[in-house]
Copies of this chain bind each other. A is one copy, B any other.
Amino acid sequence: MAEENHKQVSVAEFFEKNRHLLGFNNPSKALLTSVKEAVDNSLDACEDANILPDIEVKIQELKKGKYRMIVEDNGPGLNEKVLQKAFGSLLFGSKFRSIGGKQGRGQQGIGISAVILYGQLTTGKPAKITSRTLKDKEAREYTMHINVKTNEPDVIASEVKTWKREHGTRVEVEMEGKYVGTKQSPYEFIKQTAVVNPHASIIYTDPEGKKHKFPRVVDKLPRKAKELKPHPSGVEFGLFKRMSKDTKARNVKSFLTKDFDKVGGGTAKTILGTAKVDGQTMPKLLSDDQLHEIHEAIKTTKIMNPSTDCLSPIGADALAKSLESEYELDFVKAVSRNPTVYRGFPFQVEVAIGYGGELDTEGSARLNRFSNKVPLLYEEGSCALTKGLKSVTWKSYGLHNSSGSMPTGPAVIVIHIASTWVPFTSESKAAVSNYPAISKEIKLSIQEAGRALHLYVRKQRKAGLEEEKRQKFIGYSGEVAGAVAKLISKDSYKLKKEDLEKSVSKIQKSLLKTAETMYASGASLADVEEEEDE
C-alpha cells in the first residue's frame, strides 16, 4: 500500500462519485429510486406517528431528460434542525436504533438525502423541503443544497409557505431522468406499494398529467413493530464480546437475560451451565476463553424463536387478497413463516403463489419481490429472493424449470422478507443478500406454498383425465346399457324393440347417476376399475 494521499473524503463525496451504489446509475432507475426513497420515508414517518398515510406523488417533465419530483405526506413533519440534518447530509445509520432494531423501510438513513445529492449533481439546482409539524402554525419551505465537501446542509432560503396540509413533509427535487412505462416504472412501484400497504392512500400524477388514485382499503394501521433486543442466536463472537464489555449488567447472568431477546433465567442458567461459567462473574472480567464457551453454549442451547411482534409482516391472508386483487386467478396459496434469525437479526419470509386464470401459460412465471413492504423492481438476478425461487425443483411443485432457472407456467409468485435489518446487496436497497439462514427460509416457504400448488395442479390434471374418461363413459353408456339389458333380461330375444329401448334407457340413466355420484365424492374411475380388477 502506498503512503501517498491517504486522505479521507466525506460520505457525500464518496457517494457523489459512486451514485450507482445508491441506485442512480441510469436516468430511468434514478427517477424510480427517487420516488422510492421519498415514498418509503413518508410511509415510515406516518406509521411511526400513528397516522394513516395520505401521500401524493407528482412527476413533471421540465424538458427532455429533466424532471421534477414532488412527494408530500401528512406525516408529523420535522423541526428545523432535524429536517436540515435528515435532508442535507448523508448520515450512516441515522435510522439505526439499538443493535437489535425495529423493522422499517428506510433503514440506512442515506436514502432521501441521496436523492437531493443526485438532483444537485445532475442539475445544479437546490432541493425544496417543506415541513409543518403538529405544533407549527404554518408550513416552512427550505431551499437547500448538500455541501459535498463537508457533507452538511447548506440552506439558501427558508420561508413561510401556504400549504393545504395541517402537518406533513413535502420534498421537491429536480433531476436528470428518463420516464419509462415498463415493469420498472414509478407507476408500477406505486401500484405495488399500494397493494401491500392497504392502509395508505396514494395519489400519483404522471408526467402526462394523468392522475392515478390508489385509495385506502383498510382504515387501520398495521401492527406496529416493537423495538427489540438482539436475539442471541447468530450474534457473532466479536459483537458478543463487545456487548459484554459495554453492558451495564453487573453479572453475566443478567447480561444474558437483560441484553438479549428470549433469554430468561432458565435459559441463562442452561447456557452458563454448559459453558461452565459462574453466573455471578462480572461480564467485564470474563476471559476470551470464557466468552467463547458461553458463545458456543448459546449455539447448542434451545432458545425460543424471536417474538413475532418485532416484525410487521403483510400476513398470509392479506398477501393472498392482494394477489387476487391484481390478477384473475384459479388458485392462490399464501404462506407466512414464523420469524427466525440471521446473525441475531429477526426476519420473516412470506410467499404467495397465484395460478391459472388470466395468467399466460407460456413463458416464465412472474415474480414480485418485496422487502419490508417495499416493492423491489431492480437487480432481480442478484437477489436472494430470486435465487431462492430458482433453486427449487419446480417439477415437484406444479410448475417446471430447468435446473437453476425461473419456473415456467401460468403462475405469479410474491416473496416478502420482513426484518429489523434487511441485508441489501448495496445501499440502493434493490436486492437482498443471500445469507445462508435467509436463503433457507425462502426456499422452505416457497416449497410450503408449492406443495399446495402441486396438489391443486395434480387434481386439475387428474380432473382433466377423469373428465375425458367420463365423456367416454357417457358416450358409450348407450351400448353398455344395451349389453347390460341383454345380460339381465334372459328373455331378451322375446322383448319388443320398444321395451328393450325403455329398459336400456333406464339402465343408462342409472349408470350415469352412479357415475355422477362417484365423481362428486372424489372417487375416481381408476379406483373403481382397480377394485374391479381384484
Chain A contacts to B: CB under 8 angstroms: 1-11, 13-14, 16-18, 20-21, 25-26, 41, 44-45, 48-49, 75-76, 78-79, 82, 85-86, 91-97, 108-109, 112, 120-124, 148, 169, 236-242, 288, 291-292, 379, 381-382, 421, 423-427, 431, 433-436
- Complex contact B3–A79 (CB within 8 A): yes
- Complex contact B21–A426 (CB within 8 A): yes
- Note all chain B residues with C-beta closer than 8 A to A240: 124
- Complex contact A124–B16 (CB within 8 A): no
- Note all chain B residues with C-beta closer than 8 A to A424: 21
* Distance between Cα atoms of A379 and B238 in the complex (Å): 27
- Complex contact B26–A434 (CB within 8 A): yes
- Note all chain B residues with C-beta closer than 8 A to A41: 1
- Complex contact B8–A92 (CB within 8 A): yes
- Complex contact A92–B9 (CB within 8 A): yes
- Complex contact A5–B78 (CB within 8 A): no
Count identical subunits in the complex: 2
Contact A425-B423, Cβ < 8 Å, known A1-B86, A92-B11, A121-B239: no
- Note all chain B residues with C-beta closer than 8 A to A75: 1
* Distance between Cα atoms of A9 and B238 in the complex (Å): 18
Give A407 Cβ to nearest chain B Cβ, in Å: 16
* Distance between Cα atoms of A48 and B427 in the complex (Å): 31
- Complex contact B435–A20 (CB within 8 A): yes
- Complex contact B423–A94 (CB within 8 A): no
A-B contact list, 20 entries, CB within 8 Å: A1-B45, A1-B75, A1-B78, A1-B112, A2-B48, A3-B82, A11-B92, A14-B93, A18-B423, A21-B424, A21-B425, A25-B433, A120-B238, A121-B237, A123-B238, A124-B237, A124-B288, A124-B292, A148-B242, A381-B381
- Complex contact B26–A86 (CB within 8 A): no
* Distance between Cα atoms of A236 and B16 in the complex (Å): 10
Q: Which of B3, B92, B426 is A425 in contact with, Cβ under 8 Å?
A: B426
- Complex contact A97–B426 (CB within 8 A): no
- Note all chain B residues with C-beta closer than 8 A to A76: 2-3
**Known pairs A1-B45, A5-B94, A6-B109. 8 more at Cβ < 8 A?**
A2-B44, A6-B91, A16-B239, A17-B421, A25-B433, A121-B237, A123-B238, A382-B382
- Complex contact A1–B237 (CB within 8 A): no
Give A439 Cβ to nearest chain B Cβ, in Å: 9
